[in-house]
Amino acid sequence: MRGANAALGAAGLAAFLALGEAVPRLGLVKEAYLPPTSRIVHALGQEVSDHAFWTALGDTLTGWALGLAIAIGAGVVVGLLLSVVPYLREATASTIEFLRPIPSVALIPLAVLLYGTELRSVLLLVVYASFWQVLVQVLYGVQDVDPVAEETARSYGLGPWARVRHVLWPTALPYVMTGVRLAAAVALILAVTAELVIGAPGLGARIAVAESSQAVPDMYALVVVTGLLGLLINVGARTVERRALAWHQSVRGEAMV
């Protein structure tokens, strides 16, 4: 089954690449706007051989990884505190619902004002966007705790943190891993967006330079790199999720299928 899915995926990718080669060659779209796939691949090869490309890639991954780590840590800690401290969640519900829908890109002027084009500007946007993905999933996971299991833990004399470890956390962990997977993708999007708009060092800034200098194939090649990064991050996050939840029935059922 997996082999058939992989073959279908490869066939779909091959068809997409062939379409990207044929459309500009047939004159349906001007090559100045959409170069053929072969030119993009050639530009990608030139980018890979350039040391500056790897420096930009490292800058993007640094902003992504640091921002994601901060967001995960803060989201889990805050989510657990809001869940276990009496009345704290009710007191903060309106504040969370007010802050959560604010688009991270709306904070770009603030980030530039505070930190300019430094890494901290990227981190501000990445952390703000990713934090809510984790926090909301933690809160949903805590809501899913079985009241009978909670009362049983209380009757056996387990303290607050023991109940968190043995009852709350195992129930919330699948939700947390979903939040981490979503946050990983959002963090990459915001890292590249911040670099593109602010001019912070990274792939986004390199895309902006390629666009302004009319190096269209190089621009598309860099866009392809960001897409491949997103794919690798998603695959990696799913792998970590499966290993972390190897005991969970959803992962065991998936493995059996």
pLDDT in tens, 205-226: 999 999 999 889 999 999 999 9
Report how far residue 120's alpha carbon sits from residue 200's, in angstroms, rounded to the nearest whole number.
10
Tell me which residue has tokens 């302004």. Answer: 212
71 Cβ partners below 8 Å, 6+ apart?
126, 127, 129, 130, 131, 133, 134, 183, 187
Per-residue pLDDT for 256 more than 50? no
User: With contact defined as beta carbons under 8 Å apart, do 126 and 72 qualify?
Assistant: no
Q: What tens digit of pLDDT does each residue of 114-173 get?
A: 998 889 999 999 999 999 999 999 998 888 877 777 777 777 777 777 777 777 888 888
Give 2's pLDDT tier (boundaries 50, 70, 90). low
Residue type (1 letter), 219:
M
pLDDT of residue 120: 92
Q: What is the pTM of this model?
A: 0.86
Element (H, E) at 164: none
Q: What tens digit of pLDDT does each residue of 14-39 get?
A: 888 888 888 888 888 888 888 898 99
DSSP-based three-state secondary structure for 118: coil
Residue type (1 letter), 221:
A
Highest mean pLDDT among 66-75, 98-107, 164-173: 66-75
Per-residue pLDDT for 254 more than 60? no
Q: Please give the mean pLDDT across all residues of the chain.
A: 87
Report how far residue 84's alpha carbon sits from residue 67's, in angstroms, rounded to the nearest whole number.
26
pLDDT of residue 255: 45
pLDDT of residue 225: 94
163 Cβ partners below 8 Å, 6+ apart?
150, 153, 154
